[in-house]
Structure formats: structure tokens, C-alpha cells
Structure 1
């Protein structure tokens, strides 16, 4: 059995049983009629009747073989009638044989298309047309011609119906495939979006912490003079391990992260957590000036975006411009929250390795209807962002929580970091 037949068998279960019941009933009618009314010997009636009734079932899996079986039966059967039969009975097609012919053409066309269906129709008619030519005395020319016309008409109608049903079945199969494909694409899109979200949070949280560990370990000998050589070697080992981990994390992010996708924001940190973030950077040895002037109601999604932008900017500053002074400003002006992070100077020998940080910041700002710019500013590097404090509902991700309020705070601190 071919692969096509094996794949179709589950779909043909109901069709097979309905067709089998109809064919058994027709076989039980055809054989007695052939023997009693047409004078066909009983063994021949059983054999040829079995061939005609088996052909529609055979057509489900072996279409060409079924055409051959039915054509031979349709050609031989009219030639086996008794010469002295009653001429009032239709010939060369009896009524049960005519029904079998129409059913065969219908089944073949539905399952295998119009080409095989038209072949079965033409061969069946041509085979039966030979009977009046070979047995001119079996019936009058008018009776045989009328029978052939009726048979051709009914079989042609069955062929047309089969073509229409085949088109409907094919359309249904295509729609099913499209639904399956759409479901597969949806699942894959959800997987990619989840990987992007994981990569973003991994970069925002873990990479920032690893950068601080590396900076703290590298500058420990300068911040704490008099350390023994063993301690200095240990700190150098920690810094090397942190750098290696950052390199490996960048490789993992490259695997997880694919094309740009709409950012998914989950409530984590907000604007009120920025002073603590700055303090952790100062403990790493970086001099940071913070201006934190925020008032009024600010969306939770905006607070998360502002925190991530400041976090990424600080991480880039301590990684690419160690020892430079950093200025952080988070203020509100009208309907916007403005963020400016500037570090100076930038070592000219450090071009900076392109990563996912700027892309992530841009995604977050754009998602909320804001804008962000990052470029050299004289001898330094400046990241500036403007985000509406209450973005439009269509611009906020569905994962952002409801708006929260922040109390009016004004904090201006200046701290000199150690060398």
C-alpha cells in the first residue's frame, strides 16, 4: 500500500463503511436480477457483480486498478445476457449496474480528482457502447441507445457532483492546514517573545550586577590601600571571572535574542529605587552625581522604563569609561519624565562593543511613546530620554500594571568617588 493510501485511511473510515453498506445492498439486488431477468449464469453473475461492486471500494486506495476492474466488468457483463431475454428490460445497463456506475464515478472523482473521474466515465461508456455493436440482436437499436443516453446523463451528473465535492473537500483540507500553520506560528511567536523577554531581563538585571562586581574587584586595590598580595590576586581572579561571565552572557543573549519584538514590561523597580541603584554604583568606586526631582503621578510602566534606562546607562559608563565622573538627572517637566545620564571623559581607545543595552532602552522608550538619544557629547557620552508620564493605553504593554503615584521628592547629592 502506498504512503498516500496509508495517510488517507483514517480520513476514509466513515466513507468506507457507508459505501460498503450501499454496495452490499446493490450486490444483493444485482446478482438475482442478472440471473433471473437477463439469463446470466449464476457463477458469472456472482463474479461480474462482485467486480462491479468492489470497484468503488477499490477506488479509495487503488484508483487505476479500480478503473481497470470496472471497465472490464462493464464490457463483459452485457455480452453474457441470454439471447432470448425479454427485450423490455434495459440493456446494456441494468438499473443496479447504472447506479453502481454513477457511484463509482462519484467516488473516484471525489477522492482522486476530475482526471481519473473523467477517465472512468469515458471508459465505462465506451465499454458498454461496444455491446450493441457486438450483439446487434440483443435489443433494438432504439432501446439500447436510450439506455446509453440515460446512463451517460446520470454518470455525467455524478461526475459533476464529484468535482464539486472534491473542491469542497480540498478547500476544507487547505483551511485545516492553514489553521494548523497559524497555530504553529503563534506558538513559535510566543516562544520567541518569551526568549526575548528573558534575554532582556537577564541583561538588565544580571549583566548590570556582574559589571559592578567586575569593577569593584578591579578597583579594590586602589580603594583599600595596603591589601596583601594574596588578597589582590584574589580580587584580580574575581574580576577575571566576572569578565569571562559577562562574555559568556553576551553569547547567551545572542542566542536567546532574535529580531526586534515589542517589549514586555513586568513591574519590578521604579523611580524611587534609583537612589539605591546610584548608591550601589558608588560603592563600586564610580563618582556619581544624582539629581532626582520627581513630582506628580507617573505610570508604573514609565517608572520601570526610567529605572532600566538609568541602570543600563550606569552599567555602560562604569564598563566603558572606568574612573569617569557620571551625572544622573531624573526630573519631571510638564507631562514628561526626562532622564539624562552623562559620563566624561570617554577613553578614545575604547570604541565600545555594540550590545543589546541601547536596543533595550530604545524599545522601552518607544513602547511608551517616548524617545531616547545616545551619542558622544564633546569628550563624554550622554544618554537622554523623554517619556510621557501617562502614555496612551494603546502604547502600554498588556503586562504593565496599573498606574502608581510617587510622592514629591527633591534630592540633589554630589559624591566624589575614590580613584
Structure 2
């Protein structure tokens, strides 16, 4: 039966595993950059230094340190080829190269002493290890970097103590100090880049959440306003179904029961709708007292009053509207047309104060529906700052939702010479259409 380790040993084992585990997936160094040359640069640098250090290391070990050609070349390959691996897995590359460097230092102990040889790390070995430590600093976590730094320094000191007469230079101290500085600098730059990427991701998420919240708020507001429209029709159905047996003489019993069922279903649907809409109204009702919810919903007939109030605020508005509109104008279309004009004029006041504005409302046949057009010129005083430099997006989102609700089309956008245009078509038959809104 396997016994569990004591708590201190278990923690030490977990910490050791964490230190030896690479940080994240094997993404190439610079692979997250948007610039193509930055993504290719690590491969170019790794290939260049490998091609440079491999022959130099092999020649140094073979001719200067006296190792055989095959053995010296094999050790040179093990020391330099991991530079190519370091582009994706710096920790693994450092481990392979450092093991080869350590084996080379131990093999050189069997060679005659020559005080001119840098030992335990030849010059090419130092250069390769510095590159690998720099690559590790750009990828690995702080505990891993500290472990690499300590292992490199302690190994050099131990090897130097085994044969102090082999070299008068303290090359291991140079590797220890410079390697630590490189890892410190690379780690700081990496953490700064990670922080900037995390901030950019958070801003993207916040913007998406803000857009989604805006959409939900507009839908909730439209649902609250349409409550009166739907409630009116449901109430009419209920009254007609209840009064049918008294208005129509000679109805059979089955017909009376059918009318009673229709009236009961209509009342039940109206109750459920009010219960659901009560959830949407609860937040606003606590602050506003619900007074605005009981007011009659405006329509196209009140657009002249809206324009007159806007003119009094200092915005020159010209209204073109027929004297008489169709009598059977759907309530959803009636309300949507008023709200679109209202929001368009509000946007002009906020973003282009004093701009000349034209409002046109016209009614075609059933296919064309109600046409609403609001066009404004650039601000009267271009040097004067607008009342708002950035909007929340509620206005255009609300327009799109209202148009989508009645199955119409919406076209909004800036004009070539300056200004803005809002054009909406609201059909009299309010069947929803797919992909009916364009911006």
C-alpha cells in the first residue's frame, strides 16, 4: 500500500513540479504579435545563431580542447541545435543544452590542464546559454527563471571548485550575472506585454457587455411601451367575446361556450403579459413612480408638437408631413415613427447643435408603408464643441429594434458633405422580416 508523503514533502514536490512545468502552450515567441515580421523574427534569430555557433563550437572542442572530431561535433550539435527548439519550448531547450554543456565540462576534466582554456564554460557555450536564458525569460514564470538562474550559477561554481587550476578566468560568474540580468529584463518585458494584452481583452469584453446591455435595455423599453398596444387589443377581444352572446341573438350553446373560452383565454393571456411586463417595469417604477407608464403613448400625430418644441430649443427644423395619414395606422408603426423622429432630433441637438434639419413623414401604399426621413446638415458653428463627444449607442440601437419589430428597414449614416441621415420604412403590415435593418 502506497503511503502519502508528509505535508512538507508534498508541498516541496508540488512546487518542484510547478517549477519544471512550461508556462502555457507551446506558442512561438512573438506569436501573439499582429506584425508578421515580429512573428518571424525568433525563427530567423534561432536559425542564424545555430548556423553560426554549430561550426564554431565543433571546431573549438575538436582542435582547441583536443576532443575527437565525432565526439566534439556531437556535443556541439547537442549544445546549439536546442536554439531552434527554444522558439516554442524555451525551458526544454535550456534543459537539453545545459545537460550537454554540463557533460562537455565533465568530459574536459579528462583532458590535460591548459590555463588558457576558459572552463567550465567555453565562449560559445556561454553565448548559447545566454540566448536560451533570454528566451526562457520571455516565456517562463518567475519561479522557473529563478531555478534556471540558481542551477546555472551553482553548477558553474561547483565545477570550478573541482579543478580551479584549469582556468584563471571566472567565466561562470559572467554567465551567472549577465544571464540573470537578461532573464530579469525579458521577464519584465513579458509581464508588461501580458498586462497590456489582459487590459485589451478586458476592454473588449467590457465593450461587448456594454453593447449587449444597451440592446437589452432598448428591448425592455420597447416592450414596456408596447404593453399598452397589446393590452388594448387583448382587452377588445375579451369584451367582444364576453358580449357576443348578448349582441348576437340565437347563438347555439356550443358557440356561447366557444366565446366564453375565447374570453377566458384572452383574460389569462393579458394577466400573464402584465405579470411578465411587471418584471421589466419594477426597476423604473421604484424611481419614477410609474407615472410615465400610465400616460398615453405618442404617435405620428404628435410629431408636429415634437418639432415645435425642438425649434424652441434653438434647432432650425423644417417639417414635411401630409395633412392626413391613413386611419388604420397600426399602433406599433405609429409609436415607432414618433420615437425614431424623437431620437434623431435628440441626436442632432447633442452632436450637431444649430444644424439645419429636415423631417419628412409620408405614407405610401400598404407595401411602401410609412416613410420617415430625418436629415441634418453639419453643425452651424463648426468650432463650437458638441454637447456630447461620444454616445452610448442607445439611440441607433433603439431605432433598429423598433424597425425590426415592425418588419421595416432602416438606413443610417453620415452624408458626404457632413451631417447625418436617418431613413426608415415602416410597413403597415407588421410581419417581421429577416435581415431588414442596415446601417
Q: How high is the TM-score relative to the length of structure 2? A: 0.52
The question of 1:4 aligning with 2:32 is answered no
The question of 1:118 aligning with 2:137 is answered no
The question of 1:24 aligning with 2:44 is answered no
Q: State the distance in 2 between where 1:131 and 1:252 align.
A: 79
1:104 to partner: Cα distance: 1.6
The question of 1:195 aligning with 2:216 is answered no
1:252 to partner: Cα distance: 5.9
Equivalent residue number for residue 118 of structure 2: 90
Structure 2 counterparts to residues 140-155 of structure 1, below 5 A: 143-145=168-170, 147-155=171-179
Q: State the distance in 1 between where 2:232 and 2:124 align.
A: 84
Conserved? CA contact 2:242–2:259, under 8 Å: yes
Change (3 A) 1:243 1:155: same
Change (3 A) 1:24 1:7: closer
Equivalent residue number for residue 172 of structure 1: 196
1:198 to partner: Cα distance: 4.4
Change (3 A) 1:192 1:29: farther
Change (3 A) 1:110 1:191: same
2:299 to 236, 246, 270: 270
1:204 to 219, 228, 236: 228
Q: State the distance in 2 between where 1:43 and 1:189 align.
A: 69
Q: State the distance in 2 between where 1:295 and 1:55 align.
A: 75
Q: State the distance in 1 between where 2:283 and 2:82 align.
A: 56
Equivalent residue number for residue 80 of structure 1: 107
Report the count of equivalent residues: 284
Conserved? CA contact 1:109–1:159, under 8 Å: yes
Conserved? CA contact 1:56–1:107, under 8 Å: no
Change (3 A) 1:87 1:201: same
The question of 1:228 aligning with 2:255 is answered no
When structure 1 is superposed on structure 2, of 110-119 and 148-157 the one drifting more is 148-157
1:49 to 58, 71, 76: 76
When structure 1 is superposed on structure 2, of 201-210 and 242-251 the one drifting more is 242-251
Change (3 A) 1:205 1:57: farther
- The unaligned stretches of length 5 or more in structure 2 are 1-20, 34-38, 289-296, 312-345, 347-386, 400-439
Map Cα deviations across residues 61-100 of structure 1 (whole Å, 9 max, x no partner): 6566545434422322223337357643433222221121
Q: State the distance in 2 between where 1:176 and 1:11 align.
A: 13
- The unaligned stretches of length 5 or more in structure 1 are 274-293, 301-366, 368-392, 402-419
Map Cα deviations across residues 80-128 of structure 1 (whole Å, 9 max, x no partner): 3373576434332222211212122221122112221121121112222
Q: State the distance in 2 between where 1:184 and 1:272 align.
A: 37
What SS does structure 1 have at the residue aligned with 2:118? coil
Q: State the distance in 2 between where 1:157 and 1:3 align.
A: 20
What SS does structure 2 have at the residue aligned with 1:4? coil
Structure 2 counterparts to residues 11-410 of structure 1, below 5 A: 11=32, 14=40, 17-25=43-51, 26-55=53-82, 58=85, 65-81=92-108, 83-84=111-112, 87-139=115-167, 143-145=168-170, 147-222=171-246, 224=247, 226=249, 228-230=251-253, 232-250=256-274, 253=277, 269-270=298-299, 272=301, 297-298=308-309, 398=395
Q: State the distance in 2 between where 1:218 and 1:209 align.
A: 14
Compare CA radii of gyration and give the structure with the larger one: 1
Q: State the distance in 1 between where 2:307 and 2:104 align.
A: 96
1:55 to partner: Cα distance: 4.5
Q: State the distance in 2 between where 1:295 and 1:4 align.
A: 60
Conserved? CA contact 2:58–2:72, under 8 Å: yes
Change (3 A) 1:240 1:59: same
Higher RCO structure (Cα 8 Å, ≥6 apart): 1
Q: How high is the TM-score relative to the length of structure 1? A: 0.54
Q: State the distance in 2 between where 1:119 and 1:295 align.
A: 73
Conserved? CA contact 1:106–1:159, under 8 Å: yes
What SS does structure 2 have at the residue aligned with 1:228? coil
Map Cα deviations across residues 270-301 of structure 1 (whole Å, 9 max, x no partner): 3847xxxxxxxxxxxxxxxxxxxx9994469x
1:221 to partner: Cα distance: 4.3
Q: State the distance in 1 between where 2:256 and 2:78 align.
A: 96
CA RMSD in angstroms comes to: 4.5
